Amino acid sequence: MPKQVHPIIKRYIPIVKGIAGTFGSNCEVVLHDFSDLKNSIVVIENGKVTGRDMSSSMTDFSLQQVKAGKTQKDIINYSGKGSDGRTIKSTTMFIRDDSDKVIGCLCINFDATEFAIAKRALSELLDFGQEETKEEPSSKKINEVLKEVVQAKIDDMGKPIAYLNKDEKVHIVNDLDAQGVFLIKGAIDYVADILCVSRYTIYNYLDETRDDK
């Protein structure tokens, strides 16, 4: 039986296709009908960005916003991470009926990973070698220092996490281990989350690097 879609929602289908066609395969556009939140997708273009198709559900973030009733204002240009660590720039625009009731939304998820690489390359090109003043680690909380150390190692690789292969991730874990990072409580779980692997994978990486020493 064909899915019943609100007439107002149907009017947005050509817009979905137009936006996706204009901005290309890195731009996922999704149209939702809130009458059935578990099966809300009416049409989706370039679903590879978040790995979804017509049978998928809303993202956890959007679903939480709807269930919490936080639909008064559109959510423009918020950032997120794909399951493989890709950098995604998103926008959610709510659709209302004639009585101003929110009945659905139009979502745009743009894979900006390649632009993040370009931004880093341009940043290095325009670096004139000026020293930055940094606070002493002693004045910061441990978790803040942990985040900075891990991010610095990732930045040294010169590309986003989504583009890192296993050897590069092992290299990062090896360097962090040499710095004593994994002596900090919660560091294993934090690094696993950042590198988009399991905590057991981090243990395996550590075993590999330590066995070689």
**Residue 209 scores a pLDDT above 80:** no
- Strand boundaries in 54-185, DSSP class E: 75-81, 87-96, 102-111
Residue 128 lies in a domain: no
The residue ranking higher by pLDDT, 179 or 135, is 179
In tens, the pLDDT along 156-191 reads 888 888 888 888 899 999 888 888 888 888 889 889
Domain shared by 17 and 97, yes or no = yes
Across the range 76-103, mean pLDDT stands at 87
Domain shared by 38 and 65, yes or no = yes
Domain shared by 142 and 105, yes or no = no
- Rounded to 10 degrees, the C-alpha dihedral 61/100/36/57 comes to -20
What pLDDT shows up at residue 78? Answer: 86
What pLDDT shows up at residue 30? Answer: 96
Residue 1 lies in a domain: no
Residues 6+ apart with CB under 8 A from 121: none
Residue 2 lies in a domain: no
What pLDDT shows up at residue 71? Answer: 87
Domain shared by 85 and 167, yes or no = no
The structural domain count of the chain equals 2
* CATH number of domain containing 18: 3.30.450.20
Range of the domain at 64: 7-115
In tens, the pLDDT along 5-19 reads 899 999 999 999 999
- Rounded to 10 degrees, the C-alpha dihedral 44/49/50/53 comes to 30
Domain shared by 110 and 137, yes or no = no
